[in-house]
């Protein structure tokens, strides 16, 4: 057994006001208009959302959206909650209307999303937005780097957004001060991690990747004169020096003054409303409607089944585990590996539509803090604009390299995204964040991808079982720390009971899970959700079941809570003749 580093995709939805209610009569004819206007309202709230969601917003009637990062304050979050409640009330006018089956699906998903968002809004100051891997301070620079220039207006908008970074981070610092005053500030070790991350980000401002990446994009932009190129490059460097780099310096300073105010260096359950907040967070992150206790039992059950099957394989096939530990692949670059995955998945999945994608490397100054790989979602109106980032130091002969690219690319995030776009879902659906479905799918197909690595069948099966068991340990630890109240010694004892005793690694696991509650659950509980859906489909469709048809159905339904996916599965399962 080993310690995997989990992956994630970038969610391009920064905290903004949620869907704004519109007044419509409750007729099915108006439902599409209702959801279309909700989409336009929400996607226009900040320019990051808009840019990464639509390449051509004018085609959707969006011509004068403000160029802003949005507002991130307690007041804005409370206002967002009020608007969400109004939207939910407006949505309920359609309850009982003669909606089509597709409209009813959208209704159910939107209703669930608004209700789970409202539940979370009851704990405004409990949410930590500065987290080592998924926090704004880690993700925003990546979004800046990946911000594509299609027109001169894009360049101007980008520079305008950079100019707002210091003000945006000042709002974050104020929110952290409010959290500290309420006794909800992060632990000292979490605070020091974020401070170190901010300092590393500005350690080399002269050769910063936000300078080099911008210059490269300007050089490749068609239609600029030499003088315009020079002026833009100088302007970018000036804005970075005056607004972006100081933003990270000031944030580090503000956090330094708050170190020591954290009253809890353990799980959420040690806060007054922490356990209730965790329950709401677990549902939001997983889309799995079981209670936390039931989820914990589901995790334990699957781990027992996986370990038993693994033990049986090892007892039947002598030396199998040694074979797995020594397994290596032929060296291969990322694009070739993705091509191999795409070819080998064809018998299990619907054919992937033609699409373009790029693979880039995470900048060295961010490698320690961000996930070792991630996928940035393509715009709705341009499914060809897909980007995968990976760690340059990854061994290209390792199985983790192969399965990581399966998770991020084919048949993982990239494939799931373009297939959902191809399914013709309403644009609004792509703004509703369901990490349990999205990360659960990527984890589910990652397990399948061991079969595509060219290994002997039993070796591939054993490695997948091992990976599932390891992820289950992280998931159980998440619940143990945040819901059951495990401290570090209890966490250490749990891992040691499975033969894992590396003190440094266990301390890192404990602190990371304290800092990122429910993070691992979206992967593993989401994975369990797909296993449960597959079992339901096999029982429902019997001899008419096949993996490709099942995958077609869940991809056509799109990201949603698992109860909704299960409800609509018979409607979307391909009919046989």
DSSP-assigned letters across all residues of 299-364: HHHHHHHHHHHHHHHHHHSTTHHHHHHT-------HHHHHHHHHHHTTTTSPPPPP--EEEEE--G
State how many domains the chain has.
2
**Residue 290: which of 302, 308, 274 has the closest Cα?**
302
Q: Domain check: are 31 and 57 in the same one? A: yes
Q: CA–CA separation, 267 vs 229, rounded Å? A: 50
What residue numbers bound the domain in which 76 lies?
A: 14-128
Low-confidence ranges of the chain (pLDDT < 50): 1-24, 577
Chain Cα centroid distance, residue 50:
18
Report the C-alpha gap between 557 and 437 in whole angstroms: 11
- Asked if residue 454 is part of any domain, the answer here is no
- DSSP class of residue 368 equals T
CA–CA distance, 505 with 284 (Å, rounded to integer): 28
Q: Which residue in 321, 458, 463, 334 sits closest to 404, CA to CA?
A: 334
Q: Is the bond preceding residue 411 a cis peptide, omega within 30 degrees?
A: yes
Clarify whether residues 101 and 40 are in a common domain. yes
Boundary (domain end) residue, out of 219, 241, 261:
261
3-state secondary structure of 455: coil
Of 418, 442, 447, 446, the residue nearest 352 (C-alpha):
418
The H helix count followed by the E strand count for the chain is 24, 3
Is 249 domain-assigned?
yes
154 lies in the same domain as 117: no
- 107 and 206 belong to one structural domain: no
| Residue 425 resides in a domain | no
Q: What is the CATH number of the domain that holds 120?
A: 1.20.58
Residues 138 and 231 in one domain: yes
User: To the nearest 5 percent, what fractions of the chain are helix, strand and coil?
Assistant: 65, 5, 35
Report pTM.
0.93
Distance separating alpha carbons of residues 10 and 387, to the nearest angstrom = 10
Give pLDDT tens digits for 158-199: 999 999 999 999 999 999 999 999 999 999 999 999 999 999
Last residue of a domain, one of 242, 261, 280: 261
Contacts of 420 (CB under 8 A, 6+ apart): 429, 430, 555, 558, 559
Burial of 379 from C-beta contacts in 10 A (0-12 / 13-18 / 19+): buried
- Domain shared by 225 and 237, yes or no: yes
| Interstrand relation of 386-390 and 373-376 (parallel, antiparallel or unpaired) | antiparallel
In this structure, are 27 and 118 located in the same domain? yes
- Using the 3D structure, point to which of 261, 294, 318 is the last residue of a domain: 261
- On whether both 142 and 253 belong to a single domain, the answer is yes
CA 211 → CA 151, 214, 243, 569, distances in Å?
A: 19, 5, 14, 48
| Distance separating alpha carbons of residues 446 and 375, to the nearest angstrom | 14
Backbone angles phi, psi at 302, to 5 degrees: -65, -40
Tell me the C-alpha distance between 298 and 284, whole Å. Answer: 18
Distance separating alpha carbons of residues 260 and 278, to the nearest angstrom = 24
Residues 90 and 160 in one domain: no
Task: Quote the pLDDT of residue 164.
Answer: 98
Q: What is residue 222's predicted lDDT score, i.e. its pLDDT? A: 95
- pLDDT, position 514: 98
The helix/strand/coil state of 439 is: helix
Q: Give the pLDDT of residue 576.
A: 65
Residue 326: exposure state from Cβ atoms within 10 A (0-12, 13-18, ≥19): exposed
DSSP, res 412: S
Would you say residue 396 lies in a domain?
Answer: no
- Rounded CA separation 197/251 (Å): 11
| pLDDT for position 20 | 36
Note whether 85 and 137 are same-domain residues.
Answer: no
């Amino acid at each position: 057994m080993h310690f995997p580093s989990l992956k994630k995709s970038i969610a391009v939805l920064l905290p903004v006001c949620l869907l704004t209610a519109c007044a419509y009569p409750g007729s099915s004819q108006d439902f599409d208009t209702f959801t279309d206007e909700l989409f336009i309202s929400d996607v226009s709230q900040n320019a990051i959302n808009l840019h990464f969601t639509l390449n051509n917003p004018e085609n959707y009637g969006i011509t004068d959206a403000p160029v802003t990062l949005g507002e991130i304050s307690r007041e804005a979050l409370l206002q967002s909650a009020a608007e969400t409640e109004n939207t939910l009330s407006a949505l309920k006018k359609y309850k009982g209307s003669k909606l089509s089956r597709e409209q009813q699906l959208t209704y159910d998903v939107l209703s669930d999303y608004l209700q789970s968002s409202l539940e979370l809004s009851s704990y405004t100051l409990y949410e930590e937005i500065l987290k080592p891997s998924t926090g704004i301070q880690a993700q925003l620079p990546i979004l800046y780097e990946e911000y594509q220039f299609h027109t001169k207006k894009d360049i101007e908008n980008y520079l305008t957004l950079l100019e707002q970074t210091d003000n945006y981070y000042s709002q974050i610092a104020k929110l952290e001060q409010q959290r500290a005053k309420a006794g909800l500030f992060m632990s000292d070790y979490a605070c020091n991690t974020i401070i170190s991350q901010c300092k590393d980000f500005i350690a080399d401002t002269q050769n910063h990747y936000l300078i080099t990446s911008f210059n490269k994009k300007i050089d490749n932009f068609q239609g600029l004169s030499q003088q315009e190129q020079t002026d833009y490059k100088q302007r970018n460097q000036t804005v970075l020096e005056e607004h972006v780099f100081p933003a990270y310096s000031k944030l580090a300073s503000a956090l330094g003054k708050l170190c020591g105010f954290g009253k809890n260096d353990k799980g959420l359950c040690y806060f007054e409303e922490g356990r209730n907040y965790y329950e709401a967070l677990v549902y939001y992150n997983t889309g799995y409607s079981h209670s936390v206790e039931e989820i914990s039992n589901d995790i334990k059950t699957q781990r027992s089944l996986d370990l038993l099957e693994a033990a049986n394989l090892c007892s039947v096939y002598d030396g199998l585990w040694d074979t797995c530990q020594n397994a290596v692949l032929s060296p291969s670059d990322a694009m070739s590996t993705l091509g191999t995955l795409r070819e080998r998945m064809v018998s299990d999945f619907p054919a992937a539509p033609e699409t373009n994608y790029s693979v880039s490397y995470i900048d060295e100054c961010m490698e320690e803090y961000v996930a070792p790989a991630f996928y940035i979602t393509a715009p709705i109106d341009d499914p060809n604009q897909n980007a995968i980032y990976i760690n340059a130091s990854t061994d290209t002969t390792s199985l983790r390299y192969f399965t990581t690219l399966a998770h991020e690319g084919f048949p993982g995030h990239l494939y799931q995204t373009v297939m959902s776009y191809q399914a013709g879902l309403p644009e609004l659906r792509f703004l509703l964040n369901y990490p349990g479905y999205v990360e659960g799918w990527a984890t589910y197909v990652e397990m399948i991808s061991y079969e595509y690595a060219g290994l002997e069948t039993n070796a591939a099966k054993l490695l997948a079982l091992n990976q599932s068991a390891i992820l289950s340990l992280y998931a159980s630890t998440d619940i143990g720390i945040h819901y059951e109240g495990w401290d570090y010694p209890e966490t250490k004892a749990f891992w040691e009971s499975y033969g894992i005793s590396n003190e440094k690694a266990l301390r890192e696991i404990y602190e990371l899970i304290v800092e990122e509650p429910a993070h691992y659950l979206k992967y593993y509980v989401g994975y369990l959700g797909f296993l449960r859906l597959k079992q339901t489909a096999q029982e429902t469709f019997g001899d008419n079941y096949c993996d490709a048809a099942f995958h077609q159905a869940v991809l056509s339904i799109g990201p949603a809570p698992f109860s909704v996916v299960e409800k609509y599965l018979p409607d979307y399962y391909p009919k046989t003749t």
